[in-house]
Amino acid sequence: MKLNRRSFLKSAGFAVAAAGLNGCTESQSAGAGHAERVAGGAPAKRGRDALDTRPNIIYVLADDLGYGDLGCYGQKAIQTPNIDRMAAEGMRFSRHYAGSTVCAPSRCCLMTGLHTGHSYVRGNREAKPLGQLPLPEGTVTVAGLLKQAGYATGLTGKWGLGGPDSTGAPNRQGFDYFFGYLCQRHAHNYYPEFLFENQQRVPLRNKVAEPREDGAGVAVEKVDYSHDLIAEKALAFIERHRKGPFFLYMAVTIPHANNEAGKAGMEVPDVGIYADKDWPDPQKGHAAMISRLDRDMGRLLDLLKRLGIDDETLVVFSSDNGPHKEGGADPAFFGSSGPLRGYKRDLYEGGIRVPLIARWPGRIAAGSGCNHISAFWDMLPTFAELAGIEAPDGLDGISMVPSLLGRPDEQRSHDYLYWEFHERGGDQAVRMGDWKAIRLGRANRLELYNLKDDPGESVDIADQCPETVEKAKKLLIESRTESEFWPLQ
């Protein structure tokens, strides 16, 4: 079952997708193992009429889902028919990046339009008893901007940017409605004793062995599966705000592990279609979690059609970082990183390059693909433009609206993308076109890769390209502001 990068690259048609195409195809096949190629999709609307209405915006964020975990990105064993259908009816991006390689900083980049050299939250810094380092009062967020523009704003799932009664709580950062986990530690448990609705604790019917103040732990009575509750609340939010416009951030916890549960950490009510597979139990759980999320993506898309708002709604699907190795999970078993090197907590491509699928019937060309290099910090200016408002100055993000609407000639490109990671001594990475440079820990030496020729980052060519290395070193210094919480020595 285990797939090496070479075999996965071949099966996924990745060599074409990574060949340096700079823009978006009009259409492409979105089935498993596809390459970027014309497949007769319906064209998107062009010109000024492309923004004659403000869409509802739904952004679905999976947790620790790898680049290779979906059928439309080459996965063969895990069944994701609804997400694959979403790609067939929309646009699949091949060079999109998370904000970071772990949860909290990645989500901060998404919410604020800033990369980890400028964002307030640059790592998983814990706050006691419940939560992480909170966003400060007055932070400009996607939700806050859209709320000012007249959108109803809702979040269901995992937050991780401020605990209860802190300045970072979702209701103080632009969300009208919140249901789920405020704290990432609490979110390790799929059968918690409570969740939050806005600022209030909602008791559940589960019981946790030796309950902790942060709500995490191992459940001994399992009744209410948190993902199912989060999905139901998301669908209910859409129902309530069907007249629009609305912004829903559905930040599910699947397929993250329960880090407290050891090798039993891939918690799911049942393994469904994978029960008879000759796989280790954690791999059955991993696959079942992804298929459960896929089921709920199908329910969401079907609801939009039933409510008659399908063509008024942009749905975006992504993941907060690469696949994890916790709870007994083995990302090599399914080839969860696809052809890429590394996993969660790496700044190699497998830790930060993530799926991105966008669907908006009649506006985004069905079956289209895009090689535009983009990142989480592009979401804020993109959604602001779609909402007809100005994004604030000083962002690291660039609106992707031209790419989404099939106008690649109008799409601005990044000069570079930057990341820093504050575990294991403080890693940094920068992508400059096809070049990718990485500094590990306190090492002075940089690794250098050409992603066009070597998407799996298998050959370090730093010694052959001293001028490119010097350019990268300069960017690693210039791309960050100092932070009291996140020093780099």
Cα(311)–Cα(244) distance, integer angstroms: 12
Nearest-CA neighbor of 62 among 231, 192, 198? Answer: 231
Q: Which helix (H) or strand (E) holds 61?
A: strand 56-62
- Give me the pLDDT at residue 34, please: 29
Contacts of residue 146, defined as CB under 8 A and 6 or more positions apart, other chains included, come to 57, 153, 174, 247, 383, 384, 387
Whole-prediction pTM: 0.92
- Give me the pLDDT at residue 9, please: 41
Burial (CB count <10 Å: 0-12, 13-18, 19+), residue 280: middle
One-letter amino acid of 325: K
Cα(424)–Cα(420) distance, integer angstroms: 11
The 3-class SS string of 272-335 reads HHHCCCCCCHHHHHHHHHHHHHHHHHHHHHHHHHHHCCHHHEEEEEEECCCCCCCCCCCHHHHC
Do 368 and 359 contact (CB within 8 A), yes or no? no
Instruction: Report the sign of the C-alpha dihedral through residues 4, 7, 8, 9, in that order.
Output: positive
Please give the sequence-ordered ranges of beta strands (E in DSSP) within 149-307, or none if there are none: 152-158, 177-181, 194-197, 200-203, 207-209, 218-221, 246-251
Cα(162)–Cα(134) distance, integer angstroms: 4
| Residue 314, beta-bridge partner list | 57
Cα dihedral value 463, 373, 71, 33, nearest 10? -60
Q: Which domains does the chain have, with CATH numbers?
A: 5-410 (3.40.720.10), 417-478 (3.30.1120.10)
Nearest-CA neighbor of 313 among 386, 391, 401, 215? Answer: 386
Cα(399)–Cα(408) distance, integer angstroms: 12
One-letter amino acid of 453: D
Q: Which helix (H) or strand (E) holds 58?
A: strand 56-62
Cα(425)–Cα(422) distance, integer angstroms: 6
* Tokens, residue 20: 């340096």
Name residue, tokens 């400009």: 140
- Give me the pLDDT at residue 443, please: 83
pLDDT tens over the chain, length 489 residues: 544 444 444 444 443 343 334 477 644 433 333 222 222 233 333 333 446 789 999 999 999 999 999 999 999 999 999 999 999 999 999 999 999 999 999 999 999 999 999 999 999 999 999 999 999 999 999 999 999 999 999 999 999 999 999 999 999 999 999 999 999 999 999 999 999 999 999 999 999 998 888 999 999 999 999 999 999 999 999 999 999 999 999 999 999 999 999 889 999 999 999 999 999 999 999 999 999 999 999 999 999 999 999 999 999 999 999 999 999 999 999 999 999 999 999 999 999 999 999 999 999 999 999 999 999 999 999 999 999 999 999 999 999 999 999 999 999 999 999 999 998 889 999 999 999 999 999 888 999 999 999 999 999 999 999 999 999 999 999 999 999 999 986
Please give the sequence-ordered ranges of beta strands (E in DSSP) within 343-472, or none if there are none: 356-359, 368-370, 374-375, 417-421, 427-432, 435-439, 447-450
